[in-house]
Amino acid sequence: MTHFADRLAEAVRKKGNPLCVGLDPRWESLPRQLRDRHADGTLAGASAAIEAFCLKVLELVAARVPVVKPQSAFFEAFGPPGLAAMQSVIRRARALGLVVILDSKRGDIASTAEAYADAAFAGTPLDGKPIPVWDADALTVNPYLGQDAIDPFLQSARQSGRGLFVLVRTSNPGGGLFQDLDCGGRKVYEQVAAAVASWGRDRRGACGLSDVGAVVGATRSEELASLRRDLPETWFLVPGYGAQGAGARYVAGAFRPDGLGAIVNSSRGITFCFHPDEPGWEQAITAATDRATTELAAVMNG
Amino acid sequence: MTHFADRLAEAVRKKGNPLCVGLDPRWESLPRQLRDRHADGTLAGASAAIEAFCLKVLELVAARVPVVKPQSAFFEAFGPPGLAAMQSVIRRARALGLVVILDSKRGDIASTAEAYADAAFAGTPLDGKPIPVWDADALTVNPYLGQDAIDPFLQSARQSGRGLFVLVRTSNPGGGLFQDLDCGGRKVYEQVAAAVASWGRDRRGACGLSDVGAVVGATRSEELASLRRDLPETWFLVPGYGAQGAGARYVAGAFRPDGLGAIVNSSRGITFCFHPDEPGWEQAITAATDRATTELAAVMNG
């Protein structure tokens, strides 16, 4: 079983760029052609459309990028059939050799966290036999509930060769309300960062990075560079590039000298870079992907 | 449209107790009779068993308690059919007149939070028409992402007459790792509590409580009483009673003088108070419910 950090490093090296394509399927942003084909006023019809859209996106980006990140909220929005679509999308992405980060930002007390971790990774045990549920390579988790809420995720990730990305500093404008509170000279997010580093200790792969990553917003470039120095063994998942306003230069500080250490996400900037009524949305997606990978490859290699 | 806080107050007054029955269906804890009937080694079979179990629990407790709390992790563990079971359980609970708090601890950046809020409350809009997804009365949310991540939940709850419970101080042993950090004389959870109070301002129902509640662990009774004083207009959802170790005396400080202001959750203490092989699990559940409601009614009324 290859270590998650090494699988991620290998994917980044193979594709030559650190782009993560975020899959946030919104009904109103889908190509009109797909909506017209599936629309029947039900969540099942809408789910068929988002599934078809995401599968097409995977086909377009699979040779170009190392990672995709389904945002579970946009599948959950369509109820059980939407989540069945998410399963299908994750399965196809992994079959295409993409690393899949399931962005669910889960967090709960230990016994509940264990149920979430089983679903994300090894499968839910039925009479001793684990049955796969989401079966992703990595999961985003929320640290607010503390140590024993993170432990089941750490244990499950290690046992099944998967990874975690713990929210440290988020990219949204109001993210500082609690994350930036000063606790005796260290901000809350710096305390979380220190915990992430300690959780990852003794869990490094051959690439020198651990399977416990951090979500660090790209809209704050100094913080990103400072966290890179403090957390030399931590993979960063950097949202905020593209539609959320940050350019490639903002993320430059997130990489190690060898070009590894950061995955940079773009969701709407890739998958909704076209007007729904526009023909040729597939070409628009590949063009946007190629622009982003070129820009990020240059930054990654310093 | 009746205000959420008033619907909750009416439910508590009508049943004469503040017990919330947590629905955390675990495969290995289900009555053997139900497992044997549905087990076929698939998530669909297991989902049929947890649905049948939860519907039976609803029937047993509907006349006895005001509130139930499905924990979404334990439905998600069974994948899309598990979440279809959750939909069915929420629908039946509301039809039986129970207030339903969906315990999902959601939290994400604004556009994503909006998708979660639509799913929880008013429904996901398809070409302008909202289609119900989970359709719960209230949702638990995680505050770590800050102001703009909470706003969509606040707006959606207000528009659809629903409520929120924001994590403030959780009941798990490691909950203090970040929640108890000292930020210039106030702990992180106290800062979150102050934000919850401000979010609820101008959103009170006739009962004087707002539709923005707080999750406050019962294992710390002094903190509970102190938060009651600081947040006189906030409904508390108090986990930790029963299986997590807190007795009824610990929650006494959570109530206002009129007996309102707190909902006390018990999950395993009610729904898994029997050995799976034991016959008569229905009677065990009603007996455990009656013990808890009697104990809590005495505490609630001071």
Token pair for B18: 């503040």
Tokens representing A251?
């993320």
Please confirm, yes or no, whether B105 is among the known catalytic residues: yes
Say if CB B278 and CB B33 are below 8 A apart: no
Record: contact B144-A126, CB cut-off 8 A: no
What's the pLDDT score for residue B157?
97
Mean pLDDT, residues A250-259 taken together: 93
Distances (CA, A) of B165 to A75, B4, B103, B172: 23, 12, 9, 17
pLDDT class of A25 with cuts at 50, 70, 90: very high
The answer to whether B238 and B265 are in contact (CB under 8 A) is yes
A245, pLDDT greater than 70: no
Say which amino acid occupies B100.
V
Q: Which residues of chain B have pLDDT under 50?
A: none
User: Is the pTM for the entire model greater than 0.90?
Assistant: yes
CB count within 10 Å of CB B44 equals: 16
Say how many CA atoms lie within 13 Å of B43 toward its Cβ.
23
Per-residue confidence (pLDDT) for residue A220, from 0 to 100: 74
Please judge whether A142 and B144 are an interchain contact, meaning their C-beta atoms are less than 8 angstroms apart. Answer: yes
Helices (DSSP H) in chain B: which residue ranges? 4-15, 32-38, 43-61, 72-76, 79-95, 110-120, 147-160, 176-179, 188-200, 221-230, 268-271, 281-300
For B108, the domain range is: 4-300
Q: Do A83 and B81 touch (CB under 8 A)?
A: no
Q: What interface predicted TM-score (ipTM) does this complex get?
A: 0.97
What would the pLDDT profile of A72-84 be if each residue is shown by its tens digit? 999 999 999 999 9
Which residues of B are less than 8 Å from A271 in CB distance? none
Number of Cβ within a 10 Å radius of residue B275: 11
CA B195, chain centre distance (Å): 20
Confidence class for position A212, pLDDT limits 50, 70, 90: very high
Question: Which of chain A's residues have a Cβ under 8 Å away from the Cβ of B147?
Answer: 174, 177
Chain A residues whose CB is inside 8 A of the B184 CB are 182
**What is the predicted pLDDT for the residue at B193?**
97
Nearest to A243 by CA among A202, A199, A194, A292: A292
Helices marked H in A201-251: 221-230, 248-251
Of B111, B118, B177, the CB nearest to A147: B177
Using only C-alpha atoms, chain A has a radius of gyration, in whole angstroms, of: 18
Taking contacts as CB-CB distances below 8 angstroms, the residues of chain B near A195 are 177-178
pLDDT given at position B190: 96
Residue A120's pLDDT is what? 98
pLDDT at position A241: 86
Res B147: pLDDT? 93
Whole-angstrom distance, CA of residue B263 vs CA of residue B119: 24
Query: Is A77's CB within 8 Å of B119's CB?
Result: yes
CATH for A22: 3.20.20.70
Computed over every residue of chain A, the mean pLDDT equals 95
- Closest among A142, A157, A148 to A106, alpha carbons compared: A142
Question: Tokens 């060769």 label which residue?
Answer: A161
Is A7 an interface residue toward B (CB < 8 Å)? no
Number of domains composing chain B: 1
Mean pLDDT computed over A135-154: 97
What's the CA gap between B149 and B122, in Å, rounded?
18
Residues 19-58 of B with CB under 8 A from A: 24, 26-28, 39, 41-43, 46
The pLDDT value given to residue B178: 97
Cβ–Cβ contact B125 with A under 8 A? yes
Q: How far is it, in rounded angstroms, from Cα A123 to Cα A131?
A: 5
